Chains A and B, each alone.
Chain A
Amino acid sequence: MTASPLVELVGVGKAYGAQRAVEDVSLCLAAREIVALLGPSGCGKTTVLRLIAGFETPDRGRVSIDGRDMAGVPAHRRPVNMMFQSYALFPHLSVADNIAFGPRRQGLSRRQVAMRTAEMLALVQLETAAAKRPHQLSGGERQRVALARAAACRPRALLLDEPLAALDRKLRDAMQFELRRIQRQLGMAFLVVTHDQEEAMGLADRVAVMAAGRIVQAGPPMQVYDRPVNRFVADFLGETNLFAGRIVASQGGWVRVACAELGGELRLPSDQMGSDCWLSIRPERLALQPVSQAAVGEAVAAQVENVVFRGAQRHCELRLATGRLVRANLAKVDGWCPRPGEPAWLAWRAEDFRLLPP
């Protein structure tokens, strides 16, 4: 194992005419790691993938794979493979020929190609579909053929462009586990581009959140989820409730924040300076208490607007006295649950709030 990362981008920028798709992106992909590039559509995440695959040339910066600078290396000589969002299966070739396409170009013997193809078909459990044409397959089957074809060349790193986007929800959930299993079995590094935050968190060892051509925050999913650096990340990765606040005092790593909507001041650990700020709290960190008793801990009165049953959770919408809507997800199905139209105490623990820059 080399000490240098498998894929490395340093200060990479790419513009199409006046439109700057990628600005100053630096990113590493280590061996056997899954990194998810997450962002809304048009944030430049697919362009990053295409820069690594060699379909685009960067205007600035450096792309290197396995320690080798990729400047001037055409796509067909790069040691990475890509799984396309549209799958891009060759319609004139059978499933087996699609998968064998890459190994054949690698100059393997007929026997080796046949073995590799059989192995990949088994990996994605499509042995019975080997002779079929792509148009005879279901969406899920096509997705697996696309994966098998891209992985058949045994690249050290696989680039996956929205690998699950075209599947329905149930299949998507199943395929997340499937992708992880295949990735472990092959021992490859995956760079996954997605706009789906659940997919990113479910798949990746590390998540890089992109916005407007830049990586805003990168880290393990739990860290990015729990400690978002700004409003955009907090809002994009998972759901959140945001409240405008004002820092009134700051001392020894603690601040006091005044927030009118939460009916007073909160004290929480932060070394943020300045005055204006945002308070973010995840819906599952909020709790509801019946108004028949006195509130326990910090709380404000709220009116329950809506309760949506979601199996493991109940999603509640509450309206504060200021007219503001707040989302609270209650995990306990057997606990007390208000009905729409009822009043309730909306309670929290101050340390569950995150202080974000304006």
Chain B
Amino acid sequence: MARLAGGRFPPAAAVTRPGRGIGRERLLLLALPTLWLVLLVAAPLVILLKIALSEAELGVPPYSALVQTAPDGSLALALTIDSFTRLAADDIYRAGLWGSLRIAFLAALAAFLVAYPMALAMARAPRRWRPLLLALAILPFWTSFLIRVYAWKVILQGGGVLNAALLELGLIAQPLALLHGEGAVVLGIAYAYLPFMLLPLYAVLEGRDPALEEAAADLGCSPWQRWLRVTLPLSLPGVAAGWALVFIPATGEFVVPDLLGGPDTLMLGRVLWQEFFQAADWPMAAALSVALLLLLLAPLATLQWLRPRLRGGAE
């Protein structure tokens, strides 16, 4: 800030003492986000890890203390990986983790397959239509998340709108069991998270240069090849952002599987809820969270690593 305020030439102090020219304003600016991250991300993570490494107990709080007094009066750190070993051994937790990843992946894929053509159509629409189309795409999300998910219940259930319509048309003889299954959960999540896929895709596709697609056509590409070789590779940053914004929150989704899923739809959000509220096993719930976090770090790190390469040095 000091340098900016100083115009073209840095103030004398910054010249004579390079590296120490961090002004007070700059420190203040840095302090705010740092404080935010420490208080609301780092500290809770540490607490979470601490709970994950403790033992479940009856009492308040329902886990063992970090520092314990031995009978001889000395203090000792009490850490145990008991929760993690149970997590690894028990099928239900692994099934929950695997179910979360699978359902989140399928939901993100479904959202991608719906959102990409939508985003492309919006980006190719005449310029004056685009704000309206964008507003229409986002409009449903002005209603409550819960109500929208609940509406799918009304649509999908045995005597619901969809089954009634299909029966009326004579396409089916018996109502289909659409609700309370993995399919319904995938559909619900894909629908609920669609804008998070749509918006980054639209942003990157709207900024594309139409001349590039024309050049591809000119050099002998059919419309399909044009999309595969030019449009898609150039929109990869948006695809990556969309996948991250849908896949990652979807893995921890609780509301949709609870409302639309069946008893056998295992997702980590539900398992966590059960551990926390029903079994009162906080260390297990914390261990599950940590495990999910670690599992998600891998794809996130990959995305981060891919990003400069995906951009392909686009100007």
Contact = CB atoms under 8 A, between A and B. Distances in A.
B313 A135 contact: yes
A229 B233 CA distance: 51
B215 A90 contact: yes
Nearest to B312: A92
A236 B119 CA distance: 45
Contacts of B217: 54-55, 74-76
A90 B228 CA distance: 13
Interface in B214-249: 214-222, 225-226, 229-230, 233-234
A210 interface: no
A82 B230 contact: no
A150 B222 CA distance: 17
B212 interface: yes
A169 interface: no
A86 B221 CA distance: 19
Interface string A72-100: 00111100011010101011110000000
A76 B220 contact: yes
Contacts of B168: none
Contacts of A106: 220
B209 to A, nearest CB: 7
Given A84-B211, A84-B214, A86-B211, A91 B220 contact: no
Given A91-B234, A102-B219, A105-B221, A75 B312 contact: no
A149 interface: yes
A82 B315 contact: no
Contacts of A84: 211, 214-215
Contacts of B209: 86, 88
B211 A102 contact: no
Interface string B280-315: 000000000000000000000000000000001111
Contacts of A101: 216, 219, 229
A136 interface: yes
Which of B211, B222, B229, B230 has the most chain A CB atoms inside 10 A of its CB?
A: B211
A55 B218 CA distance: 9
B271 to A, nearest CB: 41
A102 B221 CA distance: 8
A75 B210 CA distance: 14
Nearest to A81: B218
Contacts of B216: 90, 101
A76 B218 contact: yes
Interface in A147-174: 149-150, 153
15 contacts: A54-B217, A55-B217, A75-B217, A76-B217, A76-B220, A81-B218, A82-B218, A88-B214, A91-B312, A91-B314, A92-B234, A101-B229, A102-B219, A105-B220, A150-B219
Sorted nearest first, the 5 A-B pairs with minimum C-beta distance are A105-B220, A92-B312, A102-B219, A88-B211, A88-B215
